[in-house]
Amino acid sequence: MTTHRLQKPIFVGCRKLRLDAEVRRDLRLRVTGKPSLAAMTEAEMQSVAAKLKNSGFRPESGTCTVS
């Protein structure tokens, strides 16, 4: 999975959890120390996705997957 493909499940997770822009930025900073997805490596994006899953995000079957 490329970093670009990891962005979709992160965006979906944030939307499903109803996180506003400030909360999303704070989440990224807490998890990776970086404020934007564009600055992150694939591993860092995986960490953000895992944090969203731990916060209650469950991808719908067949839409996107977060490992």
**Domain chopping of the chain, boundaries:** 3-54
Residue-wise pLDDT tens digits, 1-32: 456 788 999 999 999 999 999 999 999 999 99
Question: What's the pTM?
Answer: 0.81
Confidence of residue 61 (pLDDT cuts 50, 70, 90): low
pLDDT at 22: 96
Q: Which residues of 4-35 are buried (b: 16+ CB within 10 A; e: fewer)?
A: eebbebbebbbeeeebeeeebeebbeebbebe
Q: Quote the CA–CA distance of 21 and 39 in Å, as a whole number.
A: 17
Q: For residue 64, is pLDDT > 70?
A: no
For tokens 């490992």, what's the residue?
67
